[in-house]
Chains A and B, each alone.
Chain A
């Protein structure tokens, strides 16, 4: 039987506010346990939540960027369950009336086709704290620093049909939230994570299969592996006559498998109801228009502009707009060089990206900044150095922090463009290799490359390649 996979994702993105969603505690990561939890976060008797307006603004930014409907009236609700890291015994979330509804994003698949993924809703909620077990024999510790950290939960439609699509969608959201400046996207610290709802059905069947929810996936690789594992598990189960049960599962990255956490029957009845401590969030048109006017250029818009204005391929434009900083760096280089945007793109995506990768640096920490890289590209464009020599210059710039011009001067790498000098070198090589010259002239065209190499060697690689080609052809012809 042919099976079709159906996937929906619930992405939790931590909003980059300075203070928590309902209290004035800081949200910074990595503080000593319980040093960023005040009485509101601890759920003390008598305390009350007060909504952080910045979290609302960020949620609206997100909603506008996915073409969603922004609710003029949204409501916080309590999700009731007992857990030690949930101080109040309920989580404040949004349930029936979320702030963002009905948006969509377009993803590009490996074969270049585009696909629309619907976003059912995005709602604001507070994060829980965490339980600590390591190094605490016989007891559990509770760290409530994270309790009350603002999250936006982005719920997709079940529109994805493979793990690759799910990853492409998740990356798209990841790019977007960082563009918007509403989430740092740090997956190791848990700022960006997702739950995947996975089911399979016979190809052609309209009804969805029974789904399993895989909780708390915090890397793109885990999302892909967990979904692929889960799909295989479900297909095997169905093909051997079994049934998929609706349940929550956990992915174990060490074993590369998912395992059951709790069944539907064991699931909590959360008893959602509107939180009487908080007023409905009422947003008017002028607020929305103000937020809209402050939106940055979004990744898709930017990529389209790169194709249009710089003549880049869609692929290159996609790579260069993968992060706001990367795109800005590229544009800075192009503007400084003033021409050859494709050559600039090759340098940013090629050598620069490779060196960043090698040293594990973000673009903001690059050892060669946009002005320095533009200086190098300018020297290629004005034929001071060849592209090949430029690679060595770049490496020297990366190591020393000096400018391209300084390195070209120090190392004497200026290209030879003096025709007579190149001719002298050619004549010298021809004289030293009479055998090869004879063979070439008797029709062995392939030896042309040999002569190019020899002349380059003799000139220390500095002969202008175009001139060299032209002159060499003439001389060899005799």
Chain B
């Protein structure tokens, strides 16, 4: 493995850059060397943009020399390949978009570039973000740096693996049903899915529009706070983004936790949770109690319905969102179509993988005449009940804590033939998406040598409080600073 980065976190790197201990170009070179070296083992990247990264780094150094540097100037990051970038292809992990170059940048790509960050490339992911193991990518599975025979989780598997292996200091990611938090847990890194509407979805290729939310995978909560501040905010091009000021997340990190009311969702501990994972979660909760938090049990009785609810709502929306991939204007087009129907069926048949097709078919079915009420409408009602459960819980607690995933990382191929078991991986994370709530996952130790993640869920727009709680835990522990030996 190439030489390690001078510091593990964005916060420390930013300080190093500001102090002139190394230039952005030097740091970017170091990152690119690690990216290249790790690529055969991890397959974390779909596209590496070395040249553009070095140019951006040079520009960052010039900005610093001219006295125009901001707190993130020159910090290398990488983008999940779901965010449109105008300089390089955006594949969404699919053959359908294998050669698609977007004519525009996603809002968050522009914002992070404007903040001076340097993009190293585009990260691997489950095809169209549909998957929990990163095995549905057209560009091959990503491997978990803690054990390369295992999955990194998904769909933001490339983002989590890259940060865990310390090849990119931070990465953007997206979360529709747990796609940030679950891979963060499985790779032992910090992941944040902000409140629905906190971050613009413009330029993020849609999977399920009412659930999709962009966020981050980082080493620390502090890093997440720094980057989220640059990413969040109202976007006039996204009607579902919320027009309210972005708090100074970094400023709120150190607040004491005394009196913080923490709720443990009873339903999360009832069944299916691996015993050793549960032990790590309980230990983390003890740390919070030591920090002055008051812990109580709460119940969200409808939460066990979140997986079936999600697997109606998300496929319904995806069946419609993915209709635009028809071989007419962009994306994969079949050879010599005989007629319109042939153009559609072969372009889509060849361009989409099995999991994407499964969800398009499920979604088409649940929206069909005669089934809409029984499936889609009923799912929307259950969604309301789940939201109401959370709202009730937040009347008595400030944050909910629990497991992110029922198990640690499983072996590649172990669940590919069993979609239901695969879907159950997201049992703890989906609720926050259905209710639009912010959620995080932070590393809290190991079970059988593999990382375990603790999930935090807060009320709408409580990112500052959540990041504060995660940061205070990380001041007490060093789980987030542990890196897999093979990539040290």
Residues in A lying within 8 Å of B, measured CB to CB:
39, 42-51, 78, 80, 82, 84, 87-90, 142, 269, 271-273, 276-279
Contacts and interface: CB of A to CB of B under 8 A. Distances in A.
B210 A46 contact: no
Interface stretch (B364-372, B395-403, B408-416): B364-372
Contact of A45 (B97, B319, B367): B97
Interface residues of B, number: 45
B311 interface: no
B453 to A, nearest CB: 28
Given A46-B205, A277-B206, 13 more contacts: A39-B104, A44-B329, A46-B201, A46-B204, A87-B329, A269-B369, A271-B319, A271-B372, A273-B372, A276-B208, A276-B240, A277-B209, A278-B240
Contact of A46 (B203, B325, B344): B203
Contacts of A49: 239
| Interface hub of A48, A50, A90 (most chain B Cβ within 10 A) | A48
A46 B106 contact: yes
Given A90-B323, A276-B209, A48 B239 contact: yes
Given A269-B369, A271-B367, A273-B367, A44 B330 contact: yes
B344 A82 contact: yes
Contacts of B209: 276-277
A47 B323 contact: no
Nearest to B369: A269
Contacts of A51: 239
B103 A44 contact: yes
Contacts of A80: 319-320, 323, 367
B100 interface: yes
Interface of B: 83-84, 90, 92, 97, 100, 102-104, 106, 201-206, 208-210, 236-240, 316-317, 319-320, 322-326, 328-331, 340, 344, 364, 367-369, 372, 376
Given A88-B324, A90-B320, A271-B367, A45 B330 contact: yes
Nearest to B97: A45
A88 B331 CA distance: 13
B205 A45 contact: yes
A271 B331 CA distance: 24
A232 B330 CA distance: 47
B367 A277 contact: no
Contacts of B326: 82, 84, 89
A279 B205 contact: no
Contacts of B319: 80, 271
Nearest to A40: B237
B367 A48 contact: no
A88 B328 contact: no
Contact of B100 (A43, A45, A50, A271): A45
B84 A46 contact: yes
A39 B103 contact: yes
20 contacts: A39-B103, A44-B102, A44-B103, A45-B92, A45-B102, A45-B205, A45-B324, A46-B201, A46-B203, A46-B205, A48-B201, A48-B239, A78-B320, A82-B323, A82-B326, A87-B324, A269-B369, A273-B320, A273-B372, A278-B239
A43 B328 CA distance: 11
Nearest to A49: B239
Contact of B240 (A84, A272, A277): A277
